[in-house]
Structure 1
């Protein structure tokens, strides 16, 4: 039993907490201790739960339920040997207690032995009429095994027992989606809705399935029914807005997103989407207002900073774009997209050293896209940093070993440094992989094109 804030059920809890403050030991029956412990575990107050368990067992040393709570704490703290030992004792005392099996399954699950956990949970099913939680636990264990078909079966059993178990419904749809069974998900949801026509969550999920199949008309209809079922359902308005955007019905999308702002605290997602819709409608002033509100509402939302930076970038106002991307980097200096935009903007402003620094940071953060290596290397060439450029492209070629664009750049750099053997090697590789990219030599290394050796290699290999 969970204690509430405004009834007499919380008297044992108040008495217990008073006892802790005064250090004066009071008596509680075992069921009161169970409720107190359950309350603290639900609240995540593990230290208080442990105190309650200790005091409970001092007063009721033979209580199996209190000792099961002790097992639960052991499992939580990864003290699996202690948990298993205590469970064995309890099993010898009460072999038909399903909670013993559930905690045994928790231990197996913690040890990544999910098949054994499932086996134990299925034994527990035979010992109780209260099967919903067990079905859910079995479903989760199958998810750990990536067995989505079996997981789906058990979550469906949960929903059959309790039609308002929305977590089970979400898990069922998750399984359908992972298996790319969108049509099956739609069939299942339609059958469910025949029995529960005012379930807004099911309508919402049905709309998402139609959206995934690009059947936008049916998706909108499903979201309409979700809203009819609950006209305060923020998620349905958001999803409806996203579909309307895809249909380029930007004014209607704005209307749906705006409703969410009146129903709940403004979300950065809704503000961002409204800004994008206004930008698509050519209303740049309102677009900018909503982008500003987005980053003010949630400075950690990278899409907001990216949207406002790209807004100024499209208008060729690179200094303002740089201003906003610098603000974004000051908030999150580990965001790859920020550094890529930073580099592109600095390059447009001809701030080559800053642009090169941005690409270098992008690579350090693990973004190994070909274009990042090429852009950084080309900037190093322009800055006259030949050795650094060679090192950059030598690293790049480890990721893209048969890439002609890298080979030609290395060839040009080595010829430029009069290291003709290496230059010849890379030029021949480039011609072998793709002779059409030879123009790179002409563009980046015009003097190299006139070398007698280069002309000879071209004549031989083309």
Structure 2
């Protein structure tokens, strides 16, 4: 039987209901009774992150790390808070600490890459996204962030390909279509830019272009005709 008064269950309910102020107050009361309560320390920092009180969140993470200096949960909470404070050099140091214990932690590999991006160290960032993709080739975060890094480096064609891979895995990410379209525009590929903006995958573009040539019509008209036929067949 679940103990509804167990602090972990109480905190979980508050978190799921997004009652972050209540969660903060509850954890603070626990800490007044037991200052080294790890459940309370961990979750008060989490509540402060959601309340956007990042400096306070860091201070509670530090209290956890004084007790257990390799606590991954506290390290990741601290990383998130420091990212929000734009303290990217400090983030890199914490990421390295996690990766020294677990070099295959994809969350940390992506965080490392993101901070390197923010520091305009895009080529180094790509190395960490590649490490994440070796662990999980379908890591959409790594795919998109590598695409962003490649774009910063002016490698637009490869950037488009990585965006396309992410789009195949998660077609619901609407921002990918716009990003691909802008890159095609940079390459002066206006037909592809139009198709990308409509959410068309790279592999589907060639067929539409060939059909348009065969039917002696514009890409726009061919796309519209294809869409009409899809709609009409339902």
TM category (shorter chain) comes to 0.7 to 0.9
Describe the shift of the 1:353–1:333 C-alpha distance in structure 2 as closer, same or farther (beyond 3 A).
Answer: farther
- What does the per-residue CA deviation read over 1:117-145, in whole Å, with 9 as the maximum and x for residues that have no partner? xxxxxxxxxxxxxxxx254xxxxxxxxxx
Distance 2:23 2:68 in 1: 22
Higher Cα Rg, which structure: 1
Q: CA deviation at 1:339?
A: 4.3
Gaps of 5+ in 1: 1-132, 136-154, 160-165, 364-380, 396-462
Match of 1:325 in 2: 163
Distance 1:382 1:237, change over 3 A: farther
Partner-residue secondary structure (3-state), 1:325: helix
Q: 81, 93, 116: which is aligned to 1:278?
A: 116
3-state SS, counterpart of residue 6 of structure 2: helix
Task: Check the 8 A contact 1:250/1:277 in 2, yes or no.
Answer: yes
d(CA) in 2 for partners of 1:384, 1:266:
45
Secondary structure of the corresponding residue to residue 385 of structure 1: helix
The structure-2 alpha-carbon separation of the partners of 1:184 and 1:324, relative to structure 1 and needing over 3 Å to count, comes to closer
Aligned to 1:158: 6
Q: Does 1:198 align with 2:39?
A: no
Residues 81-119 of structure 1, C-alpha deviation per residue, up to 9 Å, x if partnerless? Answer: xxxxxxxxxxxxxxxxxxxxxxxxxxxxxxxxxxxxxxx
Distance change in 2, residues 1:322/1:384 (3 Å): closer
Residue in structure 2 matched with residue 226 of structure 1 by the alignment: 64
Tell me the residue number matched to 2:134: 296
The residue number in structure 2 matching 1:174 is 15
Matched residues in 2 for 1:307 and 1:387: separation? Answer: 29
Higher mean displacement: 283-292 or 298-307: 283-292
Task: Tell me the TM-score normalized by structure 1.
Answer: 0.41
Pairing of 1:315-354 with structure 2 (within 5 A): 315-329=153-167, 332=169, 334=171, 336=173, 337-354=175-192
Contact 2:23 2:47 in 1 (8 A): yes
Structure 2 vs 1, CA of residues 233 and 242 (structure 1 numbering), >3 Å: closer, same or farther? same
**Structure 1 residue 317: Cα displacement:** 2.3
* Offset of residue 348 of structure 1: 3.0
Indicate how the Cα distance of structure 1 residues 134 and 287 shifts in structure 2: closer, same or farther if over 3 A, else same: closer
2: distance between equivalents of 1:275 and 1:134?
A: 41
Distance 1:248 1:387 in 2: 43
Q: Give the Å deviation of 1:209.
A: 1.5
**For residues 311-361 of structure 1, what are the alpha-carbon distances to aligned partners after superposition, in whole Å with 9 as ceiling and x for unaligned?**
22233321221233344456x274545444333333432334434443444
1:247 pairs with 2:85: yes
Distance 2:223 2:192 in 1: 18
Instruction: Give the aligned partner of residue 207 of structure 2.
Output: none
Match of 1:257 among 91, 95, 99: 95
Residue 221 (structure 2) pairs with residue 385 (structure 1): yes
CA distance in 1, matches of 2:218, 2:116: 40
Tell me if the contact between 2:95 and 2:108 (Cα under 8 Å) persists in the aligned partners.
yes
Distance 1:193 1:333, change over 3 A: closer
Q: Distance in 2 between matches of 1:256 and 1:323?
A: 31
Separation in structure 2 between the aligned mates of residue 281 and residue 269 of structure 1, nearest angstrom: 19
Kept after mapping to 2: 8 A contact 1:211/1:219:
yes
Q: Distance in 1 between matches of 2:223 and 2:127?
A: 47
**Distance in 2, Cα, partners of 1:223 & 1:214:** 15
Aligned-pair RMSD on alpha carbons? 3.1
Distance 1:387 1:296, change over 3 A: closer
Number of residue-to-residue matches in the alignment? 212
Is the 1:318–1:349 Cα contact (8 Å) retained in structure 2? yes
